[in-house]
Chains A and B, each alone.
Chain A
Amino acid sequence: MTVQELPGAGADYRPTPPPAWRPRIDAAPLLPDTEPHRVLGTPAADRLDPALMRRLYAELVRGRRYNAQATALTRQGRLAVYPSTVGQEACEIAAALVLEEQDWLFPSYRDTLAAVARGLDPMQALTLLRGDWHTGYDPRECRIAPLSTPLATQLPHAVGLAHAARLKGDDVVALAMVGDGGTSEGDFHEALNFAAVWQAPVVFLVQNNGFAISVPLAKQTAAPSLAHKAVGYGIPGRLVDGNDVAAMHEVLSEAVRKARAGGGPTLIEAVTYRMEAHTNADDATRYRTDAEVEAWRAHDPIMLLERELTERGFLDDEGIQAAKDAAESMASDLRDAMNADPVLDPMDLFTHVYAEQTGQLREQAALLRAELEAEEQ
């Protein structure tokens, strides 16, 4: 019997699965909101915790100052490059602050600020960008993975680590950060799929800042939103205003709580904007207009919070000044630390390739040592 001869087989015949087949889950609850979640400036702001908000405010101000200082350091030749997060501080700060001490952060190359907000020494966080080594800290000590330059490749690491922790019975959540461009990479998809299948305690945070270097989101994806991508993997997707630090904190904490309780992964898309160029080496005027940037300036994360808190009487001039002073002192410490020339040992080049040097590396180390000794004489 051919398909054409099957009962009911007409020109529009399509084989249907047997009745036992059904989708594993109802996709509807996984669908993200159509509008980014907001708290500031909405009735939801009534539930704000003043102490937490003041803390977030101080961190935002410090983060902005950190961005400015790091950018200045590139002009002075103290940093090889710096990808600024001006405008995205709410995402960076919230991501760091929702984690418990035992949790792990998996930052992308742009997320130095999140690492600093998690408590990493600002100077150690900049080692990669200064160029004296690749990672300036012990990831196990601070539970921050090395800043990942190859896009989205750190996401499967976060899944594996969270999975391993759960196998060991440890109460650990991994939070992994990626940009909008990074969501096109295969590793993004594989990480989401593994996390979903393993129900790993992971939170994926996409900072949709509008551009991957010069390429706008519309040329990156045809999906209704990046949060929608979660649905196909069977995990919830959330859409949130990335400039609203209260909303970011709320959505991220909820996802972390859920992961910790064994509820599996969540994908969060934070809608934000990169106010500065991709890095100091980029010319943003080639691909976007001043008008667009100005429109986002009116939606600045610090301004949104400051307005809300002062209107509610949670923050006064004194509080604002205190935040500024703390930020200023961080910046001046960083400046001092970065103005000292690092002392580098070229022999380190051979020290950390393998646990034990191979014969091949021992020969090459001897060559370099001889060259260094000759230079000294």
Chain B
Amino acid sequence: MATATAAKPATMAQALNRALRDAMADDPSVHLMGEDVGALGGVFRITDGLTKEFGEDRCTDTPLAEAGILGTAVGMAMYGLRPVVEMQFDAFAYPAFEQLFSHVAKMRNRTRGAMPLPITIRVPYGGGIGGVEHHSDSSEAYYMATPGLHVVTPATVEDAYGLLRASIASDDPVIFLEPKRLYWSKADWNPAAPAPVAPIGRAAVRRTGASATLITYGPSLPVCLEAAEAAREEGWDLEVVDLRSLVPFDDDTVAASVRRTGRAVVVHESTGFGGPGGEIAARITERCFHHLEAPVLRVAGFDIPYPPPMLEKHHLPGVDRILDAVARLQWEN
């Protein structure tokens, strides 16, 4: 008995699959749909085995049309189902943006709360897997800029499970961004006793430190933790905050950390210009101005279309670039 419930190494992909399965088992109104989610189990195998277990009506291979997938999911949610939609890749979600912006995000508001849309939209996002063009975009800023959507992104195996369960349970539409290069990351995880459903909208302090805060999420979390280790040698004691949710944004956790450390660097793959970091830096400045010893810095992807795979390592924020920014926090007027 004890061995059956022991924690074992699990991948984020397995945790996501388990979250979908548990959600479907718990609630018959949960329906999965997308391209290749059936027999194939999705190109990343996140829906592996679910059609077999729950039937084609509950885990459905749709025609290849993103607006159609999301648009029909809207109608299904209007009738009381909880659709979970898979967009195959970040940059292939764009055809669905009209449905997303004009209907998914606004239906509750348009109907004065009479018609909430509990839709979860799973989007594998970000680079670092050697994908060719259109397979590595970080599109979170588009979603963040759209009122009515929650935007969530796990960085750990446990959060992958807990946040996906929370997203599916949410009565509001959630953009669930899956950091695809962490799909195969492993952690000890007990599927028999998965962590409680994680509340949406709370950041987590992944490492405590005193001299500066790295604020990050999704694919950049492991990079920041590595940078924090490396920075120890240079005398920097870095705190690392994992946002987990971009909307709603956890101002309290972020501000409390920055007030403690007095210095902050925001790290993400998405472009710096017009990217999430600008918003985060502004929020920190508004709340912590008198505590800041240096300007809030951003380490982001370059302001370029996502590069070809052989060049992506130059684009993605890595440990060195983060450490350089940390060094610049030794601000002299």
Residues of A with Cβ closer than 8 Å to B? 133-135, 138-141, 145-146, 150, 153, 155-165, 167-168, 172, 174, 186-187, 190-191, 193-194, 197, 348, 351-355, 358-360
Chain B residues within 8 Å of A, Cβ to Cβ: 31, 57, 62-63, 65, 67-68, 70-81, 83, 95, 98-99, 102-103, 106-116, 147-148, 150, 170-172, 201, 247-252
Contact A161 B75 (CB under 8 A): yes
7 other A-B residue contacts (CB within 8 Å) besides A135-B114, A190-B68: A134-B111, A140-B114, A156-B70, A159-B72, A160-B71, A160-B78, A187-B71
Residue of B63, B75, B77, B108 with highest tally of chain A CB at under 10 A: B75
A358: chain B residues within 8 A (beta carbon): 201, 247-249
* Residue pair A146, B110 in contact (C-beta under 8 Å): yes
Chain B residues near A165: list those with CB within 8 A. Answer: 79
Question: 10 shortest A-B CB distances, which residue pairs?
Answer: A160-B75, A156-B71, A190-B68, A160-B72, A358-B248, A161-B75, A164-B79, A157-B75, A134-B110, A138-B114
Pairwise interchain contact A157-B78, C-beta atoms closer than 8 A: yes
- Of the candidates B68, B74, B147, B172, the one having the most CB atoms from chain A within 10 angstroms of its own CB is B68
Is the CB–CB distance between B76 and A164 below 8 Å? yes
Task: Evaluate whether A164 and B75 lie within 8 angstroms (CB atoms) in the complex, with A194-B65, A359-B248 already known.
Answer: yes
**Which residues of B lie under 8 Å from residue A160 when comparing CB positions?**
71-79, 83
Which A residues lie within 8 Å of B251 (CB)? 359-360
| B81 & A190 in contact (Cβ 8 Å cutoff) | no
**Residues of chain A lying within 8 A (CB to CB) of residue B78:** 139-140, 145, 157, 160-161, 164
Determine the residue in chain A with the shortest Cβ distance to B113: A352
Q: Compute how far the CA of A190 lies from the CA of B70 in the bound complex, rounded to whole angstroms.
A: 11
- Could you tell me if B111 and A158 are in contact, using CB atoms closer than 8 angstroms? no
Q: Can you name 26 A-B residue pairings with CB atoms under 8 Å? A: A134-B111, A135-B111, A135-B112, A139-B111, A140-B114, A141-B114, A150-B103, A153-B71, A153-B102, A159-B71, A159-B75, A160-B77, A160-B78, A161-B79, A162-B75, A164-B80, A164-B81, A167-B57, A172-B79, A191-B71, A191-B72, A193-B68, A354-B108, A358-B249, A360-B248, A360-B251
CB <8 Å contact, A156 and B63 = no
Interface contact A163-B75, CB-CB below 8 Å = yes
> Are A134 and B109 in touch, CB under 8 angstroms?
yes
Please give me the residue from chain A that is nearest to B61 by CB atom.
A197
A193–B71 CA distance with the chains assembled, in angstroms: 12
- What are the residues of chain A within 8 A of B95 when measuring CB–CB? 186
Question: B68 touching A150 by the CB < 8 A rule?
Answer: no
- The chain A residue sitting closest to B109, CB to CB, is A352
CB proximity of B116 to chain A, nearest CB, Å: 6
Whether A359 contacts B112 by the Cβ 8 Å rule is: no
| Complex contact A153–B99 (CB within 8 A) | yes
Find out whether the CB atom of A352 lies under 8 angstroms from the CB atom of B108. yes
Q: Which of A150, A168, A194, A351 contacts B72 (CB 8 A)?
A: A194
Q: Is A355 touching B75 in the complex (CB atoms < 8 A)? A: no
Q: How far is the CA of A358 from the CA of B78 in the complex (A)?
A: 23
